Amino acid sequence: MPVTYEKLMSLKLDGATFEYSERDSMLYALSIGMGRDPLNQDELAYVFEKGGIKTVPTQACVVARPNLLLDVGLDRTKVLHGEQRLTLHRPLPPSARLVASARIAEAYDKGPGKGAIIYVESVIKEVGKDTPLITLVNTTFARGDGGFGGPNGAGRTPHEVPSRAADLKGVTETRADQALLYRLNGDRNPLHADPALAERAGFKAPILHGLCSYAIACREVLKHVCKYDHTRIREFGVRFTSPVYPGETIETDIWVDGNIVSFRCRVPARNVTVLNNGRCLLNA
């Protein structure tokens, strides 16, 4: 049955439970490139339990997955993950039991043939604690579902990166098998593993998860701005603009303005921007 504005805005989830372990935290860090140099003590702290595990802030996007939009009538063949915003109210622990709630925060109707923009907000707490640990806002671009009766609009204004030359630049060589490793964090969409399916979808090969590219950007900010201090990152948001193929090199341009870090990621070999409008808020 086609989706309607009223149906969308009534969607709600409460009390979904999730759990992750130190092993999951180490796997996540490895899957985004931490520890490739096993003698790098700064990165070893994210993948080796001696002295306590540090956590990559963007892991907060995969430790709990309340999915409100799975079976609500959207044309799933035309749905894109458009933006991701993360707020960590305190540093992510290396293991935890979680309880999540989710709701539709906003939905905009761009008109028939033009699609829809849907914002899903998830609030995640540790079991037994009253205050939030994580707030996520996922933006879905439902390209096949315009005309559902919602208010017209283009959605929230994205963060603008500075026009000056970047203050810092990070370079990450992704692995040819990186999508196969990253999918073990929970997103087993075959688009990231099955060459035949990827070809039918219009790609020359399976593509890297957008959230893996997002995490690679976070790793570069951790390295170049935070000196690997994961507790400094409070917010991390971005717009997904193009896929990455495993094995490609990603360049991350970084601008630092006080406690606001802006960033953008490119694949220079194809002259394409893959992440844009990146904004990171640092704790003081």
For residue range 155-185, list pLDDT tens digits in order. Answer: 999 999 999 999 999 999 999 999 999 999 9
Q: State residue 1's pLDDT score.
A: 58
Q: State residue 24's pLDDT score.
A: 98
Query: The tokens of 225 are what?
Result: 């701005």
The CATH number of the domain covering residues in 5-142 = 3.10.129.10
Question: Per residue in 8-21, is it b (16+ CB within 10 Å) or e — as a string?
Answer: beebeeeebebebe
Positions of the chain with pLDDT under 70: 1
The CATH number of the domain covering residues in 168-282 = 3.10.129.10
Q: Which amino acid, one-letter code, is at 80?
A: L
Q: State residue 94's pLDDT score.
A: 98
User: Which is nearest to 134 in space by CA: 174, 79, 95, 90?
Assistant: 90
Cβ–Cβ under 8 Å, residues 118 and 140: yes
Domain coordinates of the chain in residue numbers?
5-142, 168-282
Q: State residue 66's pLDDT score.
A: 87
Q: State residue 154's pLDDT score.
A: 87
Q: State residue 45's pLDDT score.
A: 97
- Would the CATH topology of 5-142 be identical to that of 168-282? yes
CA 284/CA 282 separation, integer angstroms: 6
CA 64/CA 149 separation, integer angstroms: 30
pLDDT tens string 20-50: 999 999 999 999 999 999 999 999 999 999 9
Q: State residue 206's pLDDT score.
A: 97
Look at the pTM and tell me if it is higher than 0.85.
Answer: yes
Q: State residue 146's pLDDT score.
A: 93
